[in-house]
């Protein structure tokens, strides 16, 4: 089968993304994820099934099946802007590693056309999938949420061991590997918790950057639209001062930290 | 050329003080010029017009009050009070006479007028009856063209009532040889003439007028030298006294002689810039490539160790402030169209030199720095972008954009140079281009571009298709087939072309009438002596003396026409859900939306005229009755539901600005309907017409005279500005919008296109934000867009500024081809700016 004919399921393509990977990028959001992070701002991304959201009376279908060719047609539209900015295509989700055939075909087709590739991933996938995909990805941005596996399980529905193993695997294969940490008050926003992640990251081969992404509550409406409960207690986004303190903790490990993507 | 500029330069304390003085009071109208020109004209009746103009100019410069403001280093002001203005009755005065009592309190650009000034102006105005260029233009104009103006199809108001302006004179030549040098050039030309030459009489009159003007300018500068000297004597502060002595020395030398230092060059530049705007009321007197012609003086002083970069920056900042000291009163309607006291003095930096090498130098950076320091609307700062533009320079420009001042505007060498080549200019001339006024390219000091020749509302002929050329009961356009009988989209489109072609022809007639009037009554010897090849040709610019001559009226509403055509093609001729009559009916009822008083009045006029044509006479009481019926006769609930269904279906369609190639192709085609026919016409100066697609801010007031359109735009709301998508309809992000806009043919729009994009400040955060921004501009330009400008200010800020204008006196926003103080704009224009789609980063 031609790469362009490979099918997959996405729920959005977002153009002119300037905060996720280098330059101006188009983000393809793939549907389906193994994690159920309580703070997830894209809860409509979690189920693989096509869903409907009731946006206070307006019914919207979330998810559509597309071919790699169809995605590339949209991605190609900003090719000129990628070239000028060093940008390209980013796969996000959901977890794009849950659709390895589709993700691999997208990456390979993009490279075929000279388009830079990146992924935002939890790395919750088999080692085999990681080995298949990483050679076709120019920049890997991986989330690490917590070093304590039990707490990780409580807040995301998955233990962290496999992901941390995959992190080491990616580090061995990728030349451009960035660790990103969502900073969630009540979950992982103490200096100790951030330090533990940063120390782990600093020992990964080639990892130089760690991005701290402060929690925001922009996704809470979507839980209501999906008829779901938002299970995080009412928390405030972390203050700028606190983020600066955490940034200092990251930088102390020798990594180059930054706030925001 | 190379550059060393890095980082930022400090803003001196003086700059803050000068700005404070500038904004202390409301702008005023001062009577001196009007009195002096009237005096002079009375004394020269019967002489050749060019001679009378030169004598009047000299009389004004000899007697107009002169002022050196506190803290100034660069001097010369046309009004005693800062930011005030003189008037120009030789172009028109009736509007001012009738607005004298309201001009102080009107919403757009108010000017204070003292009782003495009112009296003085009323005293001289009567002299001008029958003598103005506007009356002469009216006399020349075809009746059907006047009718089209009355029906708001187009408006040539700018040049109808004012001077032409829109020029970049040869500042560099004045810096090199001074007015003594230009005088010698005119004398030499005169010496070559023989009294028996066929054109001797007119030629010699022009050259003598040039000589007289040069002398007048030198004497004017001498008055300043004397004043500075006197002030120095009585100045208690020794430092200021020394400054005043230096000012006196500068004015003794320049602009009579060539400049010998950067400071003298600044002073010389300013006198030229000021006096071109005293000779005539034309706006858009554009300094152009300031960073190029000033550079030799800067480089020499720096190399000799005579100045520091900081001091040079302070001088440039002072020039910038002076550019904001000039002002111009316009009639109430034009004030809406050019809102924000704008003078459109476009100054451009960067780009290529005549040899095609990158021209960016330290002054290019310092021009951007000056706008950052003064943070004022003038000059209309522009930057030229080409493939060789240094990245650091664009980052510096982007940093200024990020401040939200709406400056600079970005221009694409890769489109504009070929445009000028297409008009027969040489490669060297084309590479040396600059921008006039809003967005209009020309090669400097050799072009009479007539760039702002008229606003043409592309939506009005579309309305005429639905009424077979009838507007408010009058047949003003061709009697095209009733829409009910049209069987195909192409037939509909052809009817639109027919209406457009006819109206374009009338606009050309109107512009040419005005052109002749200016040549006959308002030739400008001073301006002309700094424009090639007026001296060699022996005639003024207005009489066709410039090397290149154009007339450039601008169309706007191309996005509305594109969306309208798309809606009709899709809903009427493809899906066959509605008929053209359904559209007509719904548009006449404003899609079932509320009927406001203005709309009801317009419909009443139509009904009354229709009755009159049928021979039914109506008295006033009946008119009131008809009006009441219309105003209260809202559509029946059933009708209203139908109209609203149609409106919803139109709104659900894809719109121009979202990277949909098929609609974008429609927009390109819609653009051609205006641009292609226009370029076949010629003007009285021996030049051709060239099209622009930009609105200044006229899309708001002229939209207020336009009924509902088939794109779902409601009656009297603003029309789309320039080549931008309709406000709020480009919802697919900035790259998608830019791709769409780039699909118009920018090459044929050699009078400029204008693309407005509004950014939320968050999109430009950090170095990464700047990089993405620069890449966006680059990406649009790679696709051969010609101009781009940005408003970077949050919606919340604008709403708050509307509610509390007192807190936002210095909030500068990009309006159209220029920036203006937000709080000085009318409410409806403010609303339009707030409504423009805000592009964020995701």
- Choose among A19, A81, A83: nearest Cβ to B776: A81
Give me B8's structure tokens.
């930022």
Do A16 and B769 make contact, defined as CB atoms within 8 angstroms? no
List pLDDT tens digits, range A76-110. 999 999 999 999 999 998 999 999 999 999 999 99
CATH number where A188 lies: 3.20.20.70
Give me A261's structure tokens.
């993507």
Residue A114 confidence (pLDDT) above 60: yes
* Main-chain dihedrals φ then ψ at residue B352, nearest 5 degrees: -110, 160
Residue A207 confidence (pLDDT) above 80: yes
List pLDDT tens digits, range B351-361. 999 999 999 99
Do A84 and B778 make contact, defined as CB atoms within 8 angstroms? yes
Do B775 and A84 make contact, defined as CB atoms within 8 angstroms? yes
Of residues B385, B388, B167, B191, the one with CA closest to residue B284: B167
Nearest residue of B to residue A81, measured between CA atoms:
B779
Tell whether A15 lies on the interface with B, counting CB pairs under 8 A.
yes
Contacts of A14 in chain B (CB under 8 A): 733, 842
Which H or E element spans position B811?
A: none
List pLDDT tens digits, range B314-364. 999 999 999 999 999 988 877 776 677 889 999 999 999 999 999 999 999
List pLDDT tens digits, range A6-42. 999 999 998 988 877 899 999 999 999 999 999 998 8
The alpha carbon of residue B392 is apart from the nearest alpha carbon of chain A, in Å, by 14
User: Residue B31, by phi and psi: left (phi above 0), alpha (psi -120 to 50) or beta?
Assistant: alpha
Contacts of B782 in chain A (CB under 8 A): 80, 83-84
Positions of B marked active-site: 438, 440
List pLDDT tens digits, range B584-618. 999 988 898 876 676 677 777 767 776 776 666 77
Do B739 and A77 make contact, defined as CB atoms within 8 angstroms? yes
Residue B814 confidence (pLDDT) above 70: no
Nearest residue of B to residue A23, measured between CA atoms:
B772
Nearest residue of A to residue B771, measured between CA atoms:
A85
C-beta separation of A138 from A170 below 8 A: no
Q: How far apart are the C-alpha atoms of B836 and A38, rounded to whole Å?
A: 37
Q: How many pairs of residues across A and B have Cβ atoms under 8 Å apart?
A: 64
Residue B369 confidence (pLDDT) above 80: yes
Residue B696 confidence (pLDDT) above 70: no
Tell whether A120 lies on the interface with B, counting CB pairs under 8 A.
no
Tell me if residue B70 falls in helix, strand or coil. coil
**What pLDDT is attached to residue A87?**
96
Q: How far apart are the C-alpha atoms of B443 and B433, rounded to whole Å?
A: 4
Q: Is A20 a domain residue?
A: yes
C-beta separation of B659 from A80 below 8 A: no
Contacts of B730 in chain A (CB under 8 A): none
* CB neighbour class for B188 (10 Å; exposed up to 12, middle 13-18, buried from 19): exposed
- Choose among A19, A27, A81: nearest Cβ to B735: A81
Locate all alpha helices (DSSP H) within A7-119, ordered by sequence.
68-76, 79-85, 100-112
Do B841 and A18 make contact, defined as CB atoms within 8 angstroms? yes
Q: Is A51 a domain residue?
A: no
Which H or E element spans position B129?
A: none
Tell whether A143 lies on the interface with B, counting CB pairs under 8 A.
no
Residue B698 confidence (pLDDT) above 90: no
Do B772 and A77 make contact, defined as CB atoms within 8 angstroms? no
List pLDDT tens digits, range A136-188. 999 999 999 999 999 999 999 999 999 999 999 999 999 999 999 999 999 99
SS (H, E, C) B509-549: HHHHHHHHHHHHHCCCHHHHCCCCCHHHHCCCHHHCCCCEE
* Main-chain dihedrals φ then ψ at residue A153, nearest 5 degrees: -65, -45
Give me B271's structure tokens.
């006198």
* CB neighbour class for B107 (10 Å; exposed up to 12, middle 13-18, buried from 19): middle
Nearest residue of B to residue A17, measured between CA atoms:
B842
- Choose among A19, A80, A87: nearest Cβ to B782: A80
Tell me if residue B212 falls in helix, strand or coil. helix
- Choose among A19, A23, A27: nearest Cβ to B775: A23
Do A15 and B841 make contact, defined as CB atoms within 8 angstroms? no
- Kind of pairing, strands B756-759 and B548-551? unpaired
Give me B796's structure tokens.
């919340």
C-beta separation of B779 from B757 below 8 A: no
- Kind of pairing, strands B787-792 and B409-412? antiparallel
What number is the average pLDDT over the span B685-694?
94
Of residues B746, B738, B573, B570, the one with CA closest to residue B672: B746
Residues of B with CB under 8 A from a CB of A: 659, 732-736, 739, 763, 768-769, 771-772, 774-776, 778-779, 782-783, 839, 841-842
Q: Which residues neighbour B133 within 8 Å (Cβ) at sequence distance 6 or greater? A: B90, B91, B92, B514, B517, B518, B520, B521, B522
Do B775 and A87 make contact, defined as CB atoms within 8 angstroms? yes
What number is the average pLDDT over the span B817-835?
73
Nearest residue of A to residue B782, measured between CA atoms:
A80
Residue B816 confidence (pLDDT) above 90: no
Do A16 and B659 make contact, defined as CB atoms within 8 angstroms? no
C-beta separation of A80 from B782 below 8 A: yes
Average pLDDT along chain B? 92
**What pLDDT is attached to residue A52?**
93
Using a pLDDT cut of 70, give the percent of chain B over it. Answer: 94
Substitution target in A24, A88, A116 with the highest count of B β-carbons within 10 Å is A24
Do B842 and A23 make contact, defined as CB atoms within 8 angstroms? no
- Checking B478-482 for CB contacts under 8 A at 24+ apart, the result is B478/B502
Tell whether A84 lies on the interface with B, counting CB pairs under 8 A.
yes
C-beta separation of B320 from B347 below 8 A: no
> Which of B213-217, B551-555, B606-610, B744-748 shows the lowest mean pLDDT across its residues?
B606-610
C-beta separation of B108 from B332 below 8 A: yes
Tell whether A85 lies on the interface with B, counting CB pairs under 8 A.
yes
Higher pLDDT, B635 or B435: B435
Residue A91's DSSP bridge partners are A28, A119
DSSP string computed for B447-506: EE--TT--EEETHHHHHHHHTTTEETTEE-S--PPPGGG--SHHHHHHHHHHHHHHHHHH
Residue A219 confidence (pLDDT) above 90: no
Distances (CA, A) of B369 to B11, B16, B17, B404: 9, 15, 18, 14
Most distant CA pair in chain B, distance: 86
Residue B841 confidence (pLDDT) above 60: no
Tell me if residue B732 falls in helix, strand or coil. coil
- Please count the other Cβ atoms lying within 10 Å of the Cβ belonging to residue B703: 25
- Choose among A14, A18, A80: nearest Cβ to B772: A18
Contacts of B659 in chain A (CB under 8 A): 77
**What pLDDT is attached to residue B584?**
96
Nearest residue of B to residue A19, measured between CA atoms:
B842
Give me B655's structure tokens.
């719109």
Q: How far apart are the C-alpha atoms of B825 and B802, rounded to whole Å?
A: 10
The alpha carbon of residue B170 is apart from the nearest alpha carbon of chain A, in Å, by 37
Q: For B121-209, where are the E strands, in sequence order? A: 154-155
Residue B436's DSSP bridge partners are B440
Residue B185 confidence (pLDDT) above 90: yes
Q: How far apart are the C-alpha atoms of B103 and B93, rounded to whole Å?
A: 13
Number of domains in chain A: 1
Do B735 and A27 make contact, defined as CB atoms within 8 angstroms? no
Residue A78's DSSP bridge partners are none
> Which of A148-152, A214-218, B271-275 shows the lowest mean pLDDT across its residues?
A214-218
Instruction: State the complex-level ipTM.
Output: 0.88
Q: Is A52 a domain residue?
A: no
- Kind of pairing, strands B154-155 and B455-457? antiparallel
Tell me if residue B507 falls in helix, strand or coil. helix
List pLDDT tens digits, range B83-135. 999 999 999 999 999 999 999 998 888 999 999 999 999 999 999 999 999 99
SS (H, E, C) B237-271: CHHHHHHHHHHHHHHHHCCCCCCCCHHHHHHHHHH
What number is the average pLDDT over the span B150-165?
91
Q: How far apart are the C-alpha atoms of A232 and A188, rounded to whole Å?
A: 13
Of residues B136, B422, B42, B74, the one with CA closest to residue B264: B74
Locate all alpha helices (DSSP H) within B653-787, ordered by sequence.
661-678, 699-703, 734-742, 766-782
Q: How far apart are the C-alpha atoms of B281 and B588, rounded to whole Å?
A: 41
**What pLDDT is attached to residue B398?**
96
Average pLDDT along chain A? 94
Give me B671's structure tokens.
């653009």
Contacts of B768 in chain A (CB under 8 A): 18-19
Residues 216-255 of A with CB under 8 A from B: none
Residue B840 confidence (pLDDT) above 60: no
Cis peptide before B379 (omega within 30 of 0): yes
List pLDDT tens digits, range B508-562. 999 999 999 999 999 999 999 999 999 999 999 999 999 999 999 999 999 999 9
pLDDT band of residue B809 (cuts 50, 70, 90) is: low
Contacts of B734 in chain A (CB under 8 A): 16
Question: What b/e sequence results for B194-229 when a residue is b if at least 16 CB atoms lie within 10 Å of its CB, and e otherwise?
Answer: eeeeeeeebbbbbbbbbbbbbbbbbebbebbbebbb
Nearest residue of B to residue A26, measured between CA atoms:
B842
Residue B275 confidence (pLDDT) above 90: yes
Q: Is A148 a domain residue?
A: yes
Q: Which residues neighbour B645 within 8 Å (Cβ) at sequence distance 6 or greater? A: none
For tokens 């990780």, the residue is A152
Of residues B302, B726, B678, the one with CA closest to residue B497: B678
What number is the average pLDDT over the span B385-408?
94
CA dihedral of B815, B821, B822, B826, whole degrees rounded to 10: -80
List pLDDT tens digits, range B19-54. 999 988 889 999 999 999 999 999 999 999 999 999
Distances (CA, A) of B345 to B166, B221, B432: 9, 22, 18
Contacts of B763 in chain A (CB under 8 A): 18
Residue B473 confidence (pLDDT) above 60: yes
What number is the average pLDDT over the span B399-403?
93
Q: How far apart are the C-alpha atoms of A90 and A20, rounded to whole Å?
A: 8
For tokens 């390219």, the residue is B441
Give me A5's structure tokens.
């004919």
Q: Is A105 a domain residue?
A: yes
- Please count the other Cβ atoms lying within 10 Å of the Cβ belonging to residue B425: 21
Q: Which residues neighbour B445 within 8 Å (Cβ) at sequence distance 6 or greater? A: B168, B169, B170, B171, B172, B173, B530, B531, B532
Residue A158 structural domain: 3-46+57-259
- Please count the other Cβ atoms lying within 10 Å of the Cβ belonging to residue B700: 26
Do B772 and A24 make contact, defined as CB atoms within 8 angstroms? yes
Query: What counts of helices (H) and strands (E) characterise chain B?
Result: 35, 19
List pLDDT tens digits, range B750-800. 999 999 887 777 778 788 889 989 999 999 999 999 999 988 887 778 888
Q: Which residues neighbour B244 within 8 Å (Cβ) at sequence distance 6 or greater? A: B68, B228, B229, B231, B232, B235
Give me B586's structure tokens.
């719904």
Substitution target in A25, A77, A84 with the highest count of B β-carbons within 10 Å is A84
């Amino acid at each position: 089968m031609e790469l362009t004919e490979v099918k997959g399921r996405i729920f959005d393509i977002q153009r002119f993304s300037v905060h996720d990977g280098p330059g101006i990028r188009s983000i393809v959001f793939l549907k389906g994820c193994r994690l159920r992070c309580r703070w997830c701002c894209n809860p409509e991304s979690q189920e693989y099934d096509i869903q409907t959201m009731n946006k206070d009376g307006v019914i919207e279908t979330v998810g559509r099946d597309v071919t790699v060719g169809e995605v590339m047609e949209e991605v190609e539209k900003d090719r000129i802007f990628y070239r000028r900015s060093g940008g390209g295509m980013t796969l996000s989700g959901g977890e794009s590693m849950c659709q390895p055939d589709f993700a691999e075909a997208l990456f390979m087709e993009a490279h075929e056309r000279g388009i830079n590739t990146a992924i935002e991933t939890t790395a919750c996938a088999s080692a085999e999938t990681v080995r298949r995909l990483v050679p076709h990805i120019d920049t890997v941005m991986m989330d690490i949420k917590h070093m304590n596996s039990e707490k990780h399980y409580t807040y995301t529905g998955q233990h962290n061991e496999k992901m941390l193993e995959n992190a080491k695997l990616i580090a061995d294969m990728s030349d451009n590997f960035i660790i990103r940490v969502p900073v969630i008050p009540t979950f992982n926003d103490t200096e100790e918790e951030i330090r533990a992640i940063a120390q782990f990251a600093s020992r990964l081969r080639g990892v130089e950057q760690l991005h701290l992404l402060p929690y925001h509550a922009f996704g809470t409406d979507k839980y209501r639209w999906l008829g779901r409960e938002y299970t995080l207690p009412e928390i405030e986004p972390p203050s700028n001062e606190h983020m600066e303190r955490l940034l200092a903790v990251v930088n102390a490990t020798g990594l180059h930290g930054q706030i925001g993507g | 050329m190379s550059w060393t500029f890095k980082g930022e330069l400090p803003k001196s304390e003086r700059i803050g003080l000068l700005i404070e003085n500038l904004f202390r009071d409301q702008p005023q109208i001062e009577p001196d010029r009007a009195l002096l020109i009237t005096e002079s004209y009375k004394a020269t009746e019967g002489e050749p017009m060019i001679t009378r103009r030169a004598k009047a100019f000299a009389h004004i410069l000899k007697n107009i009050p002169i002022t050196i403001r506190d803290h100034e280093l660069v001097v010369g002001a046309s009004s005693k009070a800062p930011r005030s203005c003189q008037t120009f009755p030789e172009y028109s005065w009736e509007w001012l006479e009738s607005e004298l009592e309201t001009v102080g309190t009107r919403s757009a650009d108010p000017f204070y007028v003292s009782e003495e000034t009112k009296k003085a102006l009323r005293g001289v105005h009567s002299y001008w009856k029958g003598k103005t260029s506007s009356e002469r233009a009216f006399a020349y104009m075809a009746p059907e063209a006047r009718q089209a103006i009355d029906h708001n199809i187009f408006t040539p108001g700018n040049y109808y009532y004012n001077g032409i302006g829109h020029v970049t004179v040869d500042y560099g030549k004045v810096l090199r040889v001074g007015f003594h040098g230009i005088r010698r050039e005119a004398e030499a030309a005169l010496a070559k003439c023989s009294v028996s030459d066929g054109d001797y009489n007119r030629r010699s009159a022009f050259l003598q007028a040039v000589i007289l003007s040069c002398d007048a300018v030198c004497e004017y500068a001498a008055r300043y030298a004397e004043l500075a000297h006197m002030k120095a004597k009585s100045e208690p502060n020794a430092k200021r006294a020394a400054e005043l002595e230096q000012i006196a020395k500068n004015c003794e030398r320049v602009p009579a002689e060539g400049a010998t230092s950067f400071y003298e060059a600044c002073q010389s530049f300013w006198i030229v810039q000021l006096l071109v705007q005293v000779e005539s009321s034309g706006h858009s007197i554009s300094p152009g490539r300031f960073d190029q012609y000033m550079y030799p003086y800067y480089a020499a002083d720096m190399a000799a160790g005579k100045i520091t970069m900081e001091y040079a920056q302070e001088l440039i900042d002072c020039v910038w402030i002076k550019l904001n000291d000039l002002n111009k009163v316009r009639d109430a309607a034009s004030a809406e169209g050019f809102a924000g006291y704008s003078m459109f003095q476009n100054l451009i930096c960067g780009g290529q030199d005549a040899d095609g090498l990158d021209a960016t130098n330290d002054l290019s950076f310092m021009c951007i720095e000056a706008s950052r320091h003064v943070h004022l609307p003038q000059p209309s700062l522009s930057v030229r972008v080409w493939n060789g533009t240094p990245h650091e320079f664009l980052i510096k420009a982007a940093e200024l954009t990020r401040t939200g001042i709406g400056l600079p505007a970005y221009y694409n060498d890769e489109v504009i140079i070929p445009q000028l080549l297409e008009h027969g200019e040489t490669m060297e001339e084309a590479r040396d281009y600059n921008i006039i006024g809003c967005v209009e390219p020309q090669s400097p000091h050799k072009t009479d571009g007539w760039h702002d020749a008229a606003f043409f509302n592309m939506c009005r002929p579309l309305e005429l298709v639905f009424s077979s050329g009838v507007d408010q009961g009058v047949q003003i356009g061709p009697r095209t087939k009733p829409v009910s009988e049209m069987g195909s989209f192409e037939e509909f489109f052809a009817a639109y072309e027919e209406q457009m072609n006819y109206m374009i022809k009338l606009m050309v007639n109107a512009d040419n009438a005005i052109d002749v009037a200016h040549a006959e009554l308002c030739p400008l010897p001073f301006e002309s002596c700094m424009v090639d090849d007026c001296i060699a040709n022996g005639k003024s610019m207005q009489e066709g003396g410039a090397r290149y001559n154009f007339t450039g009226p601008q169309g706007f509403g191309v996005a509305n026409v594109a969306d309208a055509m798309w809606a009709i093609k899709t809903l009427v001729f493809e899906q066959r859900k509605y008929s053209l009559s359904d559209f007509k009916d719904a548009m006449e009822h404003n899609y079932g939306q509320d009927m406001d008083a203005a709309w009801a009045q317009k419909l009443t006029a139509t009904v009354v005229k229709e009755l009159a044509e049928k021979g039914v006479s109506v008295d006033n009481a009946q008119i009131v009755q008809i009006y009441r019926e219309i105003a209260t006769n809202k559509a029946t609930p059933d009708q209203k539901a139908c109209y609203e269904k149609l409106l919803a279906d139109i709104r659900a369609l894809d719109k121009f600005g979202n990277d949909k190639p098929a609609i974008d192709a429609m927009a390109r085609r819609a653009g051609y309907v205006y641009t292609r026919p226009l370029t076949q016409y010629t003007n009285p100066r021996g030049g051709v017409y060239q099209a622009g697609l930009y609105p200044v801010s006229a899309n708001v007031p002229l939209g207020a005279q336009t009924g509902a359109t088939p794109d779902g735009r409601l009656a009297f709301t603003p029309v789309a500005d320039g080549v931008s998508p309709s406000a709020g309809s480009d919802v697919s992000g900035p790259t998608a919008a830019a791709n769409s806009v780039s699909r118009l043919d920018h090459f044929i729009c050699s009078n400029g296109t204008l693309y407005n994009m509004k950014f939320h400040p968050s999109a430009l955060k950090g170095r990464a934000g700047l990089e993405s921004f620069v890449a966006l501009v680059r990406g649009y330009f790679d696709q051969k867009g010609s101009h781009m400008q940005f408003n970077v200010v949050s919606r919340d800020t604008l709403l708050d500024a509307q509610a509390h204008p007192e807190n936002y006196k210095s909030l500068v926003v990009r309006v159209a081809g220029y920036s203006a103080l937000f709080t000085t704009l009318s409410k409806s224009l403010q609303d339009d700016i707030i409504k423009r789609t805000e592009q964020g980063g995701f």
